[in-house]
Amino acid sequence: MSAEREQEVLQMAERMQAKDTTTEVPVASFAYEILKAHPSVRDMGLRERMDFLLKRWSRLSKAQKLEYVNDPLRGLL
């Protein structure tokens, strides 16, 4: 992972800690679904895990991202 990508990943990890409604940042329910679907992600370090999540998140359409943002507990309950 390049230094630039590593910095981007760490900034996104920080933004995930707050309520971000821009759809630029994956929400917790999306991260949970990814962890459920891909258990090997748990064995990754923070940077690798965030990189994996960000790549998956970027593949979603704006409408799909909004579904997660508008229903933050989706899949968690």
Domain residue ranges of the chain, discontinuous segments joined by +: 3-70
Question: Distances in Å between the alpha carbon of 27 and those of 2, 7, 58?
Answer: 24, 19, 12
- CA nearest neighbour of 66 among 3, 28, 22: 22
Nearest Cα neighbor of 52 from 62, 64, 42 is 42
- Sole residue written with tokens 């997660």: 68
Q: Which tens digits make up the pLDDT trace of 4-20?
A: 988 888 888 777 767 77
Overall residue count recorded for the chain in this entry: 77
* pTM, 2 dp: 0.72
Provide the pLDDT confidence category of residue 40 given band limits of 50, 70 and 90: very high
Q: Which residue has the tokens 């895990």?
A: 49
Tokens for 18? 């707050």
